[in-house]
Homo-oligomer: A and B are copies of this chain.
Amino acid sequence: MLVRRNLKWSVIAHYTWKSMLYYTLLAIAVFLLHDHFEVLKLHLPFSTITALSTALAIFLGFKNSNAYERWWEARQIWGQLVNSSRAWSRQVVTMIIPEESHEAQMVKELQERLVYRHMAFVHGLRVFLRKPKQYNETRQEEIYEETNEYSDTMAFLSPNEYKIFCQKNNPPNYLLNLQGDDLRRAYDRGWLSDYRFVQLEQTLVEFNNVQGRSERIKNTPFPRQYSFFSRVFVFIHASLLPFVFVEEIGWASMPVSVIISFVFLCLDLVGERMEDPFENRLEDVPLTSMSLGIETNLKEHWGDKNFPASKDMSKGIVL
């Protein structure tokens, strides 16, 4: 996630230079062929592409809206994870109650296991979501990336759990099932009443929902039809622009058509890159930062002072 108010032009250039080069060369070529060599006799009044421009602007508006909604929904889901994590921690501490006083220590250990394993779930889900999907790969080289390894969860799990965790088809779901097993054990011991057992289990269902909803956004790209056609239409529109301007405004057609093409290109590209919020790149929902925030909240509640270091934001990027 970008947090600097102003984007760097070098970053913008990194992602747009290929298209900009094409626009510029085309504009120059059309101008030369028309005014200099007088080869091109094409006469296209501007109204020719008015319809196209309006339709394209509306279509890009639609794309941007939905790209933003996907991104914002991803942020909401992880916001819900923050809220439920804090509630989980409090509920584990207040609701699991030893039947007899000599069990106090065992209850405490169980509570600690439930709280720390939850931190593992949060970090594990982050890594799981950011694993690259083959069909989401592009040839675009990225500027910033985070490390993304399951080993971040090692500190919060027993060695044995960690080993099995890494082998699972769906590792985060495995942790939720472990949490369920521990709740059942607490119930069998009488540390949870029927009712409190089910309440804690409901909070686990909340985590199921968080995970499943994140997977939905990760696994279901914004329909390729829309993305593809918006790219094609921007290309068509940009390719027609120099022809439209060259007759009426002469050499000014070069800067003007490049500027207008640039605007439409940006509208398309900004949406394109917001669409997928879990790709481990510049515009991602800041999962790393949020995971560390949850870890901090839970440790503060548990009385563990060993807070993780917060990430450097000096570059205006939070990942």
Contact = CB atoms under 8 A, between A and B. Distances in A.
Contact of A94 (B184, B225, B274): B184
A6 B75 CA distance: 28
Contacts of A91: 180, 201
A64 interface: yes
Contacts of A250: 43
Contact of A307 (B169, B173, B209, B300): B169
Interface stretch (A29-37, A103-111, A190-198): A190-198
A7 B196 CA distance: 52
B270 A3 contact: no
A93 B46 contact: no
Interface residues of A, number: 117
A283 interface: yes
B208 A95 contact: no
Given A194-B195, A212-B79, A229-B266, A51 B57 contact: yes
B50 A46 contact: yes
A213 interface: yes
Nearest to A224: B2
Interface stretch (A113-121, A143-151, A152-160, A256-264): A256-264
Interface of A: 1-7, 42-62, 64-66, 68, 71, 75-76, 79-80, 82-84, 86-87, 90-91, 93-95, 97, 134-135, 138, 168-170, 173-174, 176-177, 180-181, 183-184, 187-188, 193-199, 201, 204-205, 208-209, 211-213, 215-216, 220-221, 223-229, 233, 236, 240, 245, 248-250, 252, 256, 259-260, 263-264, 266-267, 270, 273-274, 283, 286, 296-297, 300-301, 307, 313, 316
